[in-house]
């Protein structure tokens, strides 16, 4: 996030807190007590202002406290015997390519801050800062005091509203007080619901000693365990509820609500002791079916890196036979090629016929035509357009589901494109006629058994009315399109 935009967010958050805190006291509570200082008024407002002061204090510390950065030239001590966090695949110490330095356990690179943050939880736009090792406790206290202060504020405004509802007409609030009662409800209730739900999640993370990023990792691990890909792995940093809270808020429970520094330097953390039942494993565990990049094979002696003989590889080293572009542009170009060919027109220079080879023409497995012409006699453009016009009618659509011909393309099953003219021809064939021709209907002559002599029929003396004898011509062509 930009520096200017981050300052705007911080200014907006500060203004919102100040509006909810002081507009209610000046325009609602003060007139309610008759604009006179009294003991009851002080009993009501002193606790509320104390909560507001703690909100501003912890918010200030969250914004301006450095969450923690990796010291220069820091390297994990691989000889200490205490263990260190390694890469999931190669087993080497974690290294940040953006910062060009090693990463301690639970540290991650923040794209907004452009550096690695110790015990990074997330980058919060409301504070224009990362929430990490040194300011996570301030962030938790800020959420806690926002919840308590908003609840206190909502209780005060609700009490005033109930008093107004029970009061007589001439004892009710004036227009300004009524407007600020509505505004305080509109601003306080959404903040209480939104921050309250967010607080519950972070209180749970505090209890389990989990960051937001590690929460995503735990969800992924749970999915792998549920699918049977890996065995259940215990989260190594969950050392107990009491110890988890003390690691962030301090050892003295009486000072948990007061700003204080966390335990440790953020470069190493206590983990669960390994035993026979719960052996210590790397976190997060590896997905056995996940593709391993070449860089992860560098230090793997069991799986050395072996390059294929050809750069055109797919699966076992061959070219993917189903790999070809199939999109709306290609289907439209096929239809246009058919229409131009049937009309006796030649495609313009640079016109694409719709066919795109799996590999370039200079590839050994290229199977396009070598004579420079299509199957329909049209010249190809540089050897790329090598498909016939009847490509859509080929055997590649050899599957059938519910009477619809489909094929298996590079992005899944594809339905065969059929234009309206082909649909009309199919309908004509079902009627027993030949497409593109007239069908003349001539009624049979009247038989001699209906009171007419055969001589009259043979001599053509029988006059037949237009109601009994007629000719009908029907053109079964593309006129039906209109």
| Calpha distance 183→477 (Å, rounded) | 71
Is residue 69 within 8 A of residue 115, CB to CB? The reply is: yes
* Closest alpha carbon to 385 in 341, 351, 336: 351
- Distance (Å) of CA 102 to CA 88, 116, 280, 286, 312: 15, 10, 22, 20, 35
Specify whether 205 is catalytic: no
> What stretch of H or E contains 430?
helix 420-430
Give residues with Cβ within 8 angstroms of 115, minimum separation 6. Answer: 69, 70, 99, 109
Is residue 350 within 8 A of residue 381, CB to CB? The reply is: yes
**Which residues are bridge partners to 404 per DSSP?**
401
Q: Which of the following is catalytic: 99, 110, 116, 124?
A: 124
* E strands, 108-264, in order: 108-110, 115-117, 122-124, 129-131
* Paired tokens of 49: 């202002």
Which residue in this structure is represented by tokens 């690179």?
A: 109
Is residue 284 within 8 A of residue 216, CB to CB? The reply is: no
User: Which residues does the annotation mark as catalytic?
Assistant: 124
């Amino acid at each position: 996030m930009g520096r200017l935009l981050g300052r705007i967010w911080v200014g907006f958050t500060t203004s919102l807190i100040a509006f909810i805190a002081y507009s209610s006291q000046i325009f609602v509570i003060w007139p309610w007590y008759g604009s006179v200082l009294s003991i009851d008024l002080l009993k009501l407002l002193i606790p509320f202002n104390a909560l507001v002061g703690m909100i501003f204090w912890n918010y200030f510390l969250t914004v301006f406290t450095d969450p923690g950065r990796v010291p220069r030239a820091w390297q994990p001590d691989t000889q200490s015997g205490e263990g260190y966090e390694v890469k999931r695949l190669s087993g080497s110490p974690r290294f940040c390519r953006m910062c060009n330095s090693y990463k301690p356990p639970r540290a991650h690179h923040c794209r907004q801050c452009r550096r690695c943050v110790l015990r990074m939880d997330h980058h919060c736009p409301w504070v224009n800062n990362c929430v990490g090792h040194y300011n996570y406790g301030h962030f938790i206290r800020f959420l806690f005091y926002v919840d308590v202060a908003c609840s206190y504020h909502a209780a005060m405004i609700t009490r005033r509203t109930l008093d107004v509802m029970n009061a007589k007409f001439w004892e009710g609030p004036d227009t300004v007080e009524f407007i600020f009662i509505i505004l305080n409800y509109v601003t306080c209730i959404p903040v209480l619901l939104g921050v309250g739900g967010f607080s519950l999640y972070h209180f749970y993370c505090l209890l389990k000693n989990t960051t937001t990023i590690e929460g995503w990792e735990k969800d992924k691990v749970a999915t792998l365990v549920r699918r049977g890909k890996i065995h259940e792995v215990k989260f190594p940093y969950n050392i107990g509820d009491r110890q988890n809270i003390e690691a962030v808020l301090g050892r003295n429970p009486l000072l948990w609500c007061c700003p204080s520094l966390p335990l440790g330097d953020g470069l190493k953390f206590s983990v669960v002791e390994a035993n026979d039942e719960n052996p210590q494993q790397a976190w997060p565990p590896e997905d056995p079916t996940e593709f391993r990049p070449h860089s992860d094979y560098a230090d793997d002696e069991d799986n050395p890196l072996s390059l294929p003989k050809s750069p055109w590889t797919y699966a076992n080293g061959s070219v993917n036979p189903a790999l070809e572009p199939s999109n709306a542009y290609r289907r439209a170009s096929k239809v246009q090629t058919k229409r131009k060919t049937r009309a006796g027109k030649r495609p313009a220079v640079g016109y694409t016929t719709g066919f795109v080879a799996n590999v370039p023409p200079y590839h050994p497995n290229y199977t396009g035509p070598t004579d420079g012409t299509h199957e329909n006699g049209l010249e190809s453009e540089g050897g790329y357009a090598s498909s016939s016009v009847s490509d859509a009618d080929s055997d590649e659509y050899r599957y059938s589901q519910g009477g619809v011909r489909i094929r298996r393309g590079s992005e899944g099953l594809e339905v065969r494109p059929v234009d309206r003219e082909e649909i009309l021809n199919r309908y004509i064939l079902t009627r027993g006629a030949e497409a593109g021709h007239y069908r003349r209907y001539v009624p049979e002559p009247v038989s001699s058994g209906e009171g007419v002599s055969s001589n009259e029929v043979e001599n053509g003396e029988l006059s037949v009315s237009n109601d009994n004898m007629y000719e009908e011509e029907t053109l079964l062509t593309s006129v039906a399109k209109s």
